[in-house]
Each structure stands twice: as C-alpha cells, then as structure tokens.
Amino acid sequence: MVVQHILDPIAKEGIKSIYDIDIEKLEFQETRKDFEGDITIVVFPLLKQIKGNPFQIATDLGNYLKSHADIVSDFNVVKGFLNLVITDSYYLENFNMVSRFENFGIVKDKKGAIMVEYSSPNTNKPLHLGHIRNNLLGYSVAEIISAAGKKVYKTQIINDRGIHICKSMVAWLKHGNGETPETTGLKGDKLVGNYYVAFDKQYKQEIESLRKDGMTEEDAKKKAPVLIEAQEMLRKWEAGDPDTVSLWKKMNQWVYDGFDISYKELGVNFDKNYYESDTYLLGKEVVAQGLEKGVFYKKEDGSVWIDLTEEGLDEKIVLRADGTAVYMTQDIGTAIQRIKDFQDIEGLVYTVGNEQDYHFKVLFLILKKMGFEWAQNLHHLSYGMVDLPEGKMKSREGTVVDADDLMNEMSSTAGEISEELGKLEGYSDEEKNRLYKIIGLGALKYFILKVDPKKRILFDPKESIDFNGNTGPFIQYTYARIQSILRKAKFKPGAEIAITELNSKEKELLKLLENFPDVIKNAADSLSPALIANYSYDLVKNYNSFYQSVPIFGADKEEEKEFRVYLSYAVACVIRSAFKLLGIDVPDRM
C-alpha cells in the first residue's frame, strides 16, 4: 500500500510527540469492508511500549494524523484499530501523475541480475503436464523479477545423457527401420518418446520370459538382454565411440527441435541452454578444493562425503569411490560455471518439483560452506504435483498427459464453450481459431499460476475455461469489454482529470491500481505468480462492480464520463501488464 509509506513516518513522529517513545515498526492493513476507511493502523502491538487504553491511544494518534497528514480527511476507532479515511484529492493527484499506464509498475532501470532455471527436461520423451507447470512458473517468475527491477537470465539444463536416452537409441536401432521425424510426420520428441516406450515394453517382456525360466525378478531385471544392450551403448558413448555419439547427436537433435515447437506454443523462451553432457564432469575440482579446506572428508573406500548432521541434515556423498561424480557434484559445478558465464549474476532460482527439496537444501548449504558469497541468494522454487480429475499422471508407459495434446485440447474446449455462448458472431474462422488459442492457453496458464506454487493442483480443463469466477477467460472478457468502451468513447490518453470527488466504487479501483507496483515487488520477493493472478482477479471483480453500478456514458457530467473512461483505460492497462507477467495474452474483442 503506497499510502502506508507516506503515513508511516508521520505516525511514528506522532507517537514520539505524544508519548516520547520511538517505535520501530507500525502494523498497517487494509480497512475491513464493513468499516469506514481506506487504511488501518493496528494499535495492539504498541501496547508493549505504550501503557494505556488501546482506544485512547488510537484516538490520540488519529487526531495527530488528521492535523499533520494532509492526505487524512477523517478517522474512526474500532477497539484497537485506527481506521483512516484518505482524501479523494490524494488518489486523483496520484492518478493524474501516472499519465501513461502502459508500463505502470514496471521498473525500467535494472540493478543486479538473477538467473532463473526452469523446464530442464530429459531427451527421452515429450514435455508433459508437469513440465507445463514448471515452465509456466519459471517463465512467469523470471518476468516478475525483471518487472521488479532485476536483469534476468532464463536458462534450462537439458538432461541429454545417461541410460534413458540410450534406451530410446537401442529401441530405434532395433525397430526404427531408419524412420525420422520427416518420414513419419511426428515431432522429434514424440518419435523418440515412442521408442522409449517401446524399449520399456520389450524390457518387461524379457523380464517375464526370464522369470518363467526360473530366474528371480531381481536378477531378471538386471539380466534382460535389452537392458544390457542399453548399458553397453552408454559405455560406448562415455568412451566416445563415433557411431554411438553420432546417433546420440541425431536423436537428441530431433528432441530439441520438438521441444522448441512446444516452447513456442506455450510462449516461453530461454537465454541459454546448458546440457548435462557438457556439465556432468563439472564439480570434481571443487570437491578437491573442498577436501583441502576440510569442507568434505574421504572415507576408507575413497568416496568423498560432507557431514551436515549439525545443520539437521545427514551425511551426503559428493564423489563415488571410483571417482565418478553424482548429481550433487554436477550441480555444484554447474552453479559455479553459471556465475563464471554471467558474472553479473547475484543469485539463482531453481524451478524444480518439491520432491527435490532435500537435494537443494544440501546443494545450497555446500556452496555456502565453500565460501561463495552469491550462495546466500540461491532459491528453490519448489512446487507441487499436478493431478487430473481422472487421477494421478503415470509417466512411463506412454500414458502421460502430453503437453502438446493438452494445449490443443484447451483451444478446442475454448472453441466449444465460446460457440455455445454465442460470443463470436461476425468472426472469420481464422479470427476464431486465433481467439480460441488465446482463451484456451490463457485458461490453462491462469488456472495453474493462480495457485500458490507449493500447493498441489487438481487441474480440470473445463473448469478452467469458465467465463465466470476466478478464471483467465473471465479476466480476458473484462479486458475485451473495456476495449469496446474505449472504442465507443474514441478514447485517447493524456487528458487531465477534471473531477474533484470520487464515489466509493471509483475510489476502490484507484486504491487497487495504486497497489500494483507493490504487488509486483511482493510477487518477486516471494517467487509467487499467484499474487499477480489473484490481484488481477480482485481488480476485475471490482471493475465489474463499478461497471454495473456506475454509469459511464450516462454520467451526469461530461468530466465524470471522461474520468470513468480514463479509469477503465487504466484498469485495462494494468490487466494487460499483469497478464503479460503471467505469460497470458489478452484479446481486444471477445
């Protein structure tokens, strides 16, 4: 609340003047709807330092503010709550000062830099619903941090090595007959994913066959011929065998090309890609340095560990007895490499599911113990799983919820609902399809981003495309309605506001608009796009209440009409800015 920043020092001066006591912090909150006022000071915390009746303390402070703060027109006291009424002139002057709402709340001058990692898929299958939440969160958080005043680098680390890609390679050699994305018409990530599923199918068949011959299930899983072939292929890749490396590069490129199509459709991008095939050897030198510093210790078998029991964690291996790295080693090295690559980075944000909470606690602690100053600014953007009404997603047998299919389904569902509502008369087929995509993807993104990242989501595609309630289409429809008003009014921004008094609906909207920069800052600090999403809904809800109860074109005076049109324009600009931070488009007509 901007008003809070103005009132805070004056209120502290008042307490010093009345009681001769210095107060470090005052608690402000929005005034409850059932009381008169715009902002409230909670007096109860002051009783620790000021002895007396909370009602009397609030009254004394209210009288002081009314006489010393020009923006306070009146006050009332309810128990220990001091409710302050802010002058209409304050909000109108503030509104006049912000002559261009297009970029209101967005900090242009960037100070410092943050890297945000998200997506980070494996190259053995297409992106799925879980990746959608990851990408939407990471991209939106990057946009919000940028809007709050930091330079942002968006990155991903692609898991392009290991047994998983070798499984797809083995299956393609066995069953592919040389087919490619071009010959099949399939996206490359889907083609490679099909062979990963084919491998799994053959693997299970071989396990069953070996069990029938009398082998235990545990031994059968280790000795299935197709798995042995994949392990041999991995050894050849690590040894640099030319044919194996060539096939690996070819199939991975198919997947990269497929991912790029999905990313473009989803509306996300990256400034730099890292590849596990380049980074998996990083970190070994750091472990050697850590041994010298006493951060790590070596066991009798030669493996290297760190003891974090004093920090409430446990012992963690960072190098195997044979000298090979583990994921932790690689992540230590990759973090350091990123700081070398982008020397203005002050911190890193890792967008990774909550099943990796422990991993990142350990990683961040190790980097702090190694003495890296930037390790104080490492954040794990931990998020919950996404479920569908039919139940939890399955990931291995080809039954996963494909990201491309879901995006297409969202556009189709948006089309069906729009046709039923009869909202698109006079649109060409091309215009309709473009709008279906905007509505469908907007519904998907908003439904996922309005939920606090830490919470698990039950995603219902049809519920997300409702044109009423806390949904993307509801907010998009309000934006389109405002555009219609602006067209009718032939509105051009830049005029001075002539009115001097506000009704309650107008004032409520001005208060919400004024808070947008603070909402961006809070969302950046807490890495939560949900704050932006739910602010957008509150703004739209209040605008619709204003629209239904306050005449715009039927206003009594011309200056009232002009102000209400301008107010509508300001609301639309902030909706567009907020939705841009969420990666959501807004249509001019709907």
What are the boundaries of each domain within the chain?
2-86, 113-387, 403-581
146 pLDDT above the threshold of 50? yes
What pLDDT is recorded for position 399?
52
Tens of pLDDT, residue by residue over 311-357, are 999 999 999 998 888 999 999 999 999 999 999 999 999 999 999 99
Beta strands 27-30 and 39-42 are: antiparallel
Query: Which tokens in the block code for residue 396?
Result: 């291995």
Indicate the CATH number for domain 403-581: 1.10.730.10
The letter for the amino acid at 398 is: G
Confidence grade of residue 398 (pLDDT, cut at 50, 70, 90): very low
What pLDDT is recorded for position 496?
81
The letter for the amino acid at 236 is: K
119 pLDDT above the threshold of 90? yes
For the domain made up of 2-86, give the CATH fold: Gyrase A; domain 2 (3.30.1360)
Does an H or E element contain 240, and which? Answer: none
Listed in sequence order, the DSSP H helices in 422-470 are 429-449, 461-464
345 neighbors 338 (Cβ within 8 angstroms)? yes
Q: How far apart are CA 240 and CA 242, in angstroms?
A: 6
In this prediction, residues 116-134 reach a mean pLDDT of 94
Architecture category of domain 113-387 in CATH: 3-Layer(aba) Sandwich (3.40)
In this prediction, residues 37-43 reach a mean pLDDT of 96
Beta strands 297-298 and 304-307 are: antiparallel
Residue 193: left (phi > 0), alpha (psi -120 to 50), or beta? alpha
Among candidates 580, 589, 524, which has minimal Cα distance to 267?
580
211 pLDDT above the threshold of 80? yes
Among candidates 166, 199, 194, 167, which has minimal Cα distance to 180?
194
pTM of the model: 0.92
556 neighbors 85 (Cβ within 8 angstroms)? no
In this prediction, residues 113-130 reach a mean pLDDT of 94
Residue written as tokens 């004032």? 507
519 pLDDT above the threshold of 60? yes
Query: Which tokens in the block code for residue 432?
Result: 């309709």
% of the chain exceeding 70 in pLDDT? 97
Least confident of 14-18, 246-250, 399-403: 399-403
Q: Which residue has the higher pLDDT, 154 or 101?
A: 154
397 pLDDT above the threshold of 70? no
Tens of pLDDT, residue by residue over 442-488, are 999 999 999 999 999 988 888 898 888 999 999 999 999 999 999 99
What pLDDT is recorded for position 527?
98
Mean pLDDT score of the chain, rounded to an integer? 93
Confidence grade of residue 530 (pLDDT, cut at 50, 70, 90): very high
Listed in sequence order, the DSSP H helices in 176-324 are 181-184, 188-212, 217-223, 225-239, 242-266, 276-279, 284-293
Give the contacts of 269 (CB within 8 A, at least 6 positions apart): 139, 154, 263
Residue 457 φ then ψ, to 5°: -115, 135
C-alpha pair distances (Å), 148 with each of 111, 383, 415, 524? 10, 22, 36, 7
